[in-house]
């Protein structure tokens, strides 16, 4: 009887343990299907943009933080031209690189949007995380738009806010 009780107790314990959740912010299938060689393309203008992201925010004091889900939106604002993103890199509060999303240029069709998701459980960025994007567009084409949408819900409370990238080169 004691063996059965111990066995049931172990099963209850194992089933109540939280399963490890994979972080969905890395989606290599999305990037590999967008891969393109732009070495043959001429007359492309270069740009670099900085986007602030918050995977955590302070709550009540500097000693308590609240985790957030962040959606990073990459948008081609041109209705006629394909654009190219050559770098999407995520940094933590201390400026240390956390991850690069691809190691080759990707294309985005006119008015297309794609996203990077930083899961709520991924707190590696901290309270001052950020992205750097490098991109190339045809001459006289509008710049891409990079935005962050951070949100979280707990019980009946919801929190949501946005950030917008700033061109730095």
pLDDT of residue 18: 46
pTM: 0.80
Enumerate the domain spans of the chain: 43-167
Which residues lie below 8 Å from residue 112, measured CB to CB, with a gap of 6+? 75, 76
Long-range contacts of 95-103 (CB under 8 A, 24+ apart): 98/124, 98/125, 98/129, 99/25, 99/26, 101/26, 101/31, 102/28, 102/31, 102/32, 102/34, 102/35
The topology (CATH level 3) of 43-167 is Hypothetical Protein Tm1070; Chain: A (2.60.290)
CB atoms near residue 150 (< 10 Å): 22
| Residue 17 three-state SS | coil
Nearest to 150 by CA among 82, 27, 67: 67
**Residue positions counted in the chain:** 169
Task: Taking residues 6-13, report their average pLDDT.
Answer: 51
Taking only the tens place, the pLDDT of each residue in 136-159 is: 999 999 999 999 999 998 777 888
pLDDT digits (tens, 9 = 90+) for 52-106: 999 888 888 888 888 899 999 999 999 999 999 999 999 999 999 999 999 899 9
pLDDT in tens, 109-139: 999 999 999 999 999 999 999 999 999 999 9
Q: Which one, of 84, 87, 51, 83, lies nearest residue 70 by Cα?
A: 51
């Amino acid at each position: 009887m004691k063996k059965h009780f111990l066995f049931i107790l172990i099963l209850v314990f194992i089933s109540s343990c939280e399963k490890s959740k994979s972080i969905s912010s890395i989606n290599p299938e999305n990037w590999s299907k967008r891969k393109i060689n732009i070495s043959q393309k001429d007359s492309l203008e270069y740009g670099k943009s900085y986007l602030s992201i918050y995977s955590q925010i302070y709550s009540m004091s500097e000693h308590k933080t609240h985790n957030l889900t962040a959606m990073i939106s990459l948008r081609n604002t041109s209705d006629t031209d394909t654009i190219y993103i050559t770098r999407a890199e995520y940094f933590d509060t201390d400026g240390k690189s956390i991850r690069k999303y691809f190691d080759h240029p990707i294309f985005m069709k006119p008015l297309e949007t794609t996203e990077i998701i930083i899961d709520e459980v991924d707190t590696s960025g901290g309270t001052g995380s950020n992205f750097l994007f490098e991109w190339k567009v045809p001459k006289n084409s509008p710049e891409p738009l990079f935005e962050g949408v951070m949100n979280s819900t707990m019980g009946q409370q919801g929190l949501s806010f946005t950030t917008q990238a700033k061109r730095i080169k």
